[in-house]
A = this chain, B = another copy of it.
Amino acid sequence: MADNDLVAALLAGDVAALARAVSIVENGRDGFEELLSTLSSRMGDARRIGVTGPPGAGKSTLTEQLVAGFRKTGLRVAVVAVDPTSPFTGGALLGDRIRMESVALDSGVYIRSMATRGSLGGLAISTGEVCDVLAAAGFDRILVETVGVGQSELDVASIVDETILVLVPESGDGIQALKSGVIEAADIIVVNKADRGGAELLRREIELSLDLRSGRRGVSAKGWRPPVELTVATTGAGLDGLMTKLDGHWEWLAGSGTLEARRARRNASRVRGIVERSIIRSIWQNAATTDVLNHGLEQVNNGTLSVYQLGAAVVQSVQTRQ
């Protein structure tokens, strides 16, 4: 299938073409940047929503409920589950994927796990590119689910339009979130598993923390105070309220110019990432450069050259050659 055919099939809603395009992009196969460039003019106006939080907060179940909620209004929904290739959460995520099968059989839903360990340019950039493919394929909502631990996941949060932070009572995560300032990245805060003891207490702690923020009664510099929503994702309790708050946030985002500013910031970081990835790739594809590296490494390994001296020599060979 030629690329034009692939693009045409993708735009026509062919699921096999979509899966193939996502794989090409996720794995950075030949021609993936041309594919993305072609698709970039065809992207619809998908809302990209991040769902983040600590392990065990019920993010997958909540995501599943959000998918069901969007489907009720006829919207097409894609889910990208980002697995930071953690040896300890990897299995759990796989389990979640299996559980999400209740919505996976719906043809208006597409679910994809990302576990691009060591992919060119990192997880955030390739996740953003997969979202681009999904946007071109006509999905109205793209949910990006990440485990809220580690830098790569925070990077992922920067590629969505809005972020839902999911916390649970009793775990102590709420306090950590408040202390660490991660709450600053949240547009909507969900206290999930709210049928457990401590949900109201956690909500009050969060509200108090928001009250104290910036001395402006919890309203961010741009004029948004994150609502705190109580949900029980396993039963669907609180989901209607959350959906309403999501729509309210989107209206604010678009109306206040914040959406435009966020997307501009995202574009800038995307371009930087693309440039860095391309330049680094071209460095190591050059045989003369790898020769300098390999010969120098012999000296480094026998202790006659430092890694910094060799690094400087390689940089010089790159810069004098170009």
Contact = CB atoms under 8 A, between A and B. Distances in A.
Interface of A: 33-34, 36-37, 40-41, 54, 84-92, 117-118, 123, 147-154, 173, 175-177, 179-182, 260, 263-264, 267-268, 270-272, 274-276, 278-280, 282-284, 293, 296-297, 300-301, 303, 306-312, 314-315, 318-319, 322
Contacts of A54: 88
Nearest to A289: B275
A149 B150 contact: yes
A280 B280 contact: yes
Contacts of A123: 151
A87 to B, nearest CB: 3
Contact of A263 (B181, B284, B301): B301
Copies of this chain, whole number = 2
Nearest to A94: B179
A300 B268 CA distance: 9
12 contacts: A37-B309, A41-B303, A88-B149, A149-B149, A267-B300, A271-B311, A272-B284, A274-B307, A274-B308, A275-B318, A279-B279, A319-B322
A276 B283 contact: yes
A277 to B, nearest CB: 8
Contact of A153 (B34, B150, B154, B276): B150
A322 B322 CA distance: 6
Given A85-B154, A88-B173, A275 B148 contact: no
Contact of A91 (B33, B175, B282): B175
A315 B279 CA distance: 7
B271 A300 contact: yes
Contacts of A311: 33, 270-271, 274-275, 278
Given A150-B152, A275-B311, 7 more contacts: A84-B149, A87-B148, A87-B182, A88-B148, A271-B293, A271-B307, A278-B315
Nearest to A86: B149
A98 to B, nearest CB: 14
A27 B118 CA distance: 24
